[in-house]
Copies of this chain bind each other. A is one copy, B any other.
Amino acid sequence: MRVLVLGGDGYCGWPTALHLSAAGHDVTIVDSLCRRAIDGELGTQSLVPIATLDERVHRWEWANGRQIAVEPGDLLDWPFLSGVIARHRPDAVVHFAEQRSAPYSMIDREHAVYTQHNNVIGTLNLLFALHELAPDCHLVKLGTMGEYGTPNIDIEEGFIEIEHRGRHDRLPYPKQPGSFYHLSKVHDSHNILFACRTWGLRATDLNQGVVYGAATPHTALHPDLANRFDYDGIFGTVLNRFCVEAAIGHPLTVHGQGGQTRGFIDIRDTVRCVQLAAEHPPQRGEYRVFNQFTEQFSVLDLARLVCSVGGDLGLAVELQHIANPRTEAEQHYYNARNTSLLSLGLEPHLLGRETTAELLRLALEYRQRVRPDVIRTHVRWQGRGMATKLATAAGIAGEVQAGVNGD
């Protein structure tokens, strides 16, 4: 299968590109490298050193014998994007190429506008490119569980059967996203559903939970294949960040009561979920949604797990409840469906003590690279323009810990 991996240089995109390549697919990475540029803007870097994209794909060919092509460019650049689709005529496009941090989208107006413009217009361009140049192609789009918010009823996979005043319909599940980033994914979902219904495109929207982990079997083959690992307050997801905090003797910063419950997934399952979706395409005209997570945890569950496993490794780990920078419920009902990917054969890596210990050992190995000052940020959901001057946030020691997770 000819597969384009958009955003194939990123935290989820890179291991997915390797996984699909190893599975025998003809993979091309499309990436603007903007994630690396944002590291420069924020003064952050991956905990684990990462090679350039060129080095990565050459090392992959050396290690595995398979080529991965690279198309450097931006989905906002229509001549570039349409040229790529026209040249490659992909069977599937896996689309990770979006700004994926909720705190980043909440820094200030410019970052909110950047996020919605980049994500929504980039995806809109992609829909037109597929419609005009590759209408049979399967779009595998990364959404987020955060599109749903925390409703007081069970979360279904994209659609819900509603009985109302004696009548019935199956309708898109109501969305209550919690940041300008999450909103951008909701906008995408509506645009994609429309394109499927109107143009007969086919798409799978993968509403992914919070991802944790670092390596997959393929990224572990050589240091040049290593995956990025973010621990900063803007892009670090919660479990990864807790492990780094534990490794440097920083208390685990829990937002408020820590009762925020979300779906989580191991990055080793992310790559398999994408493969399962891509290898089982929907019919033309079908828009389907898979909830891509394997387990539900509260933030406090994870903090306690890291405390406990850290103790086994000889670390003295403390919890610190801090003011929640987000506007969100800290105690709420949460029960989300995730049967579609299990039905396709997903065998989850569940989060146990060993996985947590591996992450802690990784954080300890690279602890000298940690910049403690980027673990916290000033980004507050209710802030009023104050964050503007912090956009170039290198070296700022903040008052408030941002982000339950990067996503």
CB of A389 within 8 Å of the partner chain: no
CB of A23 within 8 Å of the partner chain: no
Are A152 and B168 in touch, CB under 8 angstroms?
A: yes
Q: Which residues of the other chain, B, contact A178 by a CB distance below 8 angstroms?
A: 194
Q: Which residues of the other chain, B, contact A172 by a CB distance below 8 angstroms?
A: 174-176
Indicate with 1 or 0, residue by residue over A163-178, a CB within 8 angstroms of chain B CB atoms.
1110111011111111
Number of A interface residues at 8 Å Cβ cutoff, please give it: 52
Q: Which of A165, A169, A171, A333 has the most CB of B within 10 A?
A: A171
Are B167 and A327 in touch, CB under 8 angstroms?
A: no
Instruction: For the complex formed, measure the closest distance between the CB of A359 and the CB atoms of chain B, giving whole angstroms.
Output: 32
Chain A stretch 180-197: residues in CB contact (< 8 A) with chain B: 180, 183, 186-187, 190-191, 193-194, 197
Docked CA distance A153–B161 (Å): 11
Are A167 and B152 in touch, CB under 8 angstroms?
A: yes
Are A175 and B190 in touch, CB under 8 angstroms?
A: yes
**Number of copies of this kind of chain in the complex:** 2
Q: Which residues of the other chain, B, contact A132 by a CB distance below 8 angstroms?
A: 109, 384-385
Instruction: For the complex formed, measure the closest distance between the CB of A106 and the CB atoms of chain B, giving whole angstroms.
Output: 9
Instruction: For the complex formed, measure the closest distance between the CB of A241 and the CB atoms of chain B, giving whole angstroms.
Output: 23
Are B169 and A171 in touch, CB under 8 angstroms?
A: no
Are A171 and B164 in touch, CB under 8 angstroms?
A: no
Selected interface stretch from A37-45, A111-119, A249-257:
A111-119
Contact of A152 among B117, B120, B169, B385 (CB under 8 A): B169
Are A165 and B174 in touch, CB under 8 angstroms?
A: no
Chain A to chain B: the 9 pairs with minimum beta-carbon distance, closest first? A171-B174, A152-B169, A109-B128, A153-B164, A187-B187, A198-B327, A153-B167, A172-B174, A132-B385
